[in-house]
Amino acid sequence: MVTRGNNKRTIYLDDRDRAFFCWTVTRIAKKYGWTVLAYCLMENHYHLLISVGDKGLAGGMCELNSGYAQMFNARHGRVNHLFGKRYWNRRIKTDASLWNVVRYIVQNPRAAGSAKTLDGYRWSSYSATIGLACADIALARDEVLRFYGRVQETAIETFRVFCSASAL
């Protein structure tokens, strides 16, 4: 799922904003039974790949976006909408689609010129998935890696190679 800033404006002004957003995602995910498989916070939007629990998606997204926007506006002396249109999402039906969505999410900073390497961007799940950093959002790392292999070292290497390749 993706949510973009109103008029493509910045939605994080500093790392404190990003950290609060990550904490909020983790809290909402726990409350609504979501499993976070991948994420990336960009300057004017964010990506979340989640498995939705029994409590659904809409209520959690409303709580996530409105709660973060209220904090952001209060902290930065702003009013009105932080986010543009409603979040957008699609159901992933195949393992191949899941692989491609994960790759798209973690490649976003490199494609935007924010990082030269996938592990060079702080606010993505990539480094946590390959074991180089702690995740900022409660991440189902082992669940993600199972899609890439049964043995963790092999799964990490397969994940690295796949994510480094250009999307078709």
Share of the chain above pLDDT 70, in %: 98
Residues 121-150 have a mean pLDDT of: 96
Q: What is the mean pLDDT of residues 52-61?
A: 93
Provide the percentage of residues in the chain whose pLDDT is more than 90.
86
CA-atom Rg of the chain in angstroms: 16
The tens digit of pLDDT for each residue in 13-36 reads 999 999 999 999 999 999 999 999
- Cα–Cα distance, 138 to 30 (Å, whole number): 9
Residue 83's nearest CA partner among 32, 10, 16, 27 is: 10
Helix intervals (H) in the chain: 15-32, 58-76, 95-111, 126-129, 141-146, 152-164
How far out from the chain centre does Cα 64 lie? 13
Q: What is the pLDDT of residue 113?
A: 87
Which pLDDT value is given to residue 167? 62
Q: Is the pLDDT of residue 124 over 70?
A: yes
Most confident of 87-96, 113-122, 155-164: 155-164
pLDDT mean over 122-150:
96
Which whole number is the average pLDDT over 124-133?
97
Q: Is 126 exposed, middle or buried (0-12, 13-18, 19+ CB in 10 A)?
A: buried
Query: How confident is the prediction for the chain on average, in pLDDT?
Result: 94
The sign of the CA dihedral 56, 87, 1, 39 is negative
3-state helix, strand, coil in the chain (%, to 5): 50, 10, 40
